[in-house]
């Protein structure tokens, strides 16, 4: 299978030794300055892609790109506010003109305001929806339009275990993560005939800047560790593998689905271990 373009799968052309390689491809990553976005950018670069590191923190995006280049990879940086639809659309047009084709688009940015839903203000509600749903929608739309024209591509969104399980103080955040899944499924159904795949990754508890406030609470940290089958939090770097998989030809027949990378959080009861 050609490495420079995602194509319709042909088993006679399969090269199983390079299923996960992304040589010759261009990958856009929103939120690449830190956390899961940074890990995704590094993983895609290690698999051979040229990575476009985008973030509201332009300096952080440049540091991410510099780190990839220092390791022998190919990357460039750009400051980008994904909550501005016109800017996102214009950015994709410019990137497409410069690179010819964007083969992979990953969107990671999110915000979580932990508080009872009855205590939420309109401003807080709007802030969570504006980034988690609105920003991701803009990336979906811009990437989708480009990939539909090219008849190929992989779009990867970051949902969460909170799309299917919730706790007090997570209602609004969880609502946005569940909505992302349905947005991805809907776009997957619309763009499937054009050879474009759209999927979500649902992490469990991951050590990132977003989760720092609870990670720094020993009791909370331990409680979350005990809740999943692996009895620990994930490192951000552990999300790179799922991203590379969904970006690559290894996932050529995977679309409209959710890949849970949650350490077994959604598979186990978690309350206690009974005597058997």
Cα–Cα distance for residue pair 41/26, rounded to 1 Å: 11
Cα–Cα distance for residue pair 262/90, rounded to 1 Å: 35
Cα–Cα distance for residue pair 150/207, rounded to 1 Å: 36
| Interacting residues of 37 by C-beta distance below 8 A, sequence separation 6+ | 29, 30, 31, 55, 106, 108, 109
Task: Say if CB 3 and CB 24 are below 8 A apart.
Answer: yes
Q: Using the CB atoms, write b or e for 88-98: b if 16+ within 10 Å.
A: beebbeebbee
The residue from 9, 120, 173, 224 that is catalytic is: 173
- End-to-end C-alpha distance for the chain, whole angstroms: 50
Catalytic residue flag (residue 224): no
Catalytic residues: 173
């Amino acid at each position: 299978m050609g490495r420079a373009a995602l194509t319709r799968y042909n088993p006679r052309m399969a090269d199983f030794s390079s299923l996960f390689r992304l040589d010759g491809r261009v990958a856009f990553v929103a939120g690449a300055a830190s956390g899961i976005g940074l890990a995704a950018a590094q993983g895609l670069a290690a698999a051979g892609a040229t990575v476009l590191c985008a973030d509201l923190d332009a300096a952080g995006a440049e540091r991410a790109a510099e780190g990839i280049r220092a390791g022998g990879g190919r990357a460039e940086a750009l400051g980008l506010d994904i909550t501005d639809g016109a800017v996102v659309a214009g950015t994709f047009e410019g990137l497409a003109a410069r690179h010819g084709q964007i083969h992979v688009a990953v969107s990671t940015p999110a915000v979580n305001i932990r508080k009872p839903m009855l205590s939420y203000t309109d401003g807080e509600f709007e802030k969570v929806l504006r980034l988690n749903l609105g920003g991701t929608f803009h990336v979906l739309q811009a990437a989708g339009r480009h990939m539909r024209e090219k008849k190929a591509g992989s779009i990867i969104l970051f949902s969460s275990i909170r799309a299917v399980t919730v706790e007090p103080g997570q209602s609004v955040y969880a609502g946005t993560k569940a909505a992302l899944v349905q947005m991805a499924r809907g776009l997957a159904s619309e763009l499937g005939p054009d050879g474009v795949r759209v999927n979500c990754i649902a992490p469990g508890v991951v050590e990132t800047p977003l989760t720092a406030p609870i990670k720094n609470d020993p009791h909370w940290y331990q409680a979350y560790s005990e809740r999943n089958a692996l009895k620990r939090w994930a490192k951000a770097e552990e999300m790179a593998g799922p991203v590379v998989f969904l970006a690559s030809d290894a996932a050529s027949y995977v679309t409209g689905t959710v890949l849970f990378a949650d350490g077994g959080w959604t598979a186990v009861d978690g309350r206690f271990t009974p005597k058997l």
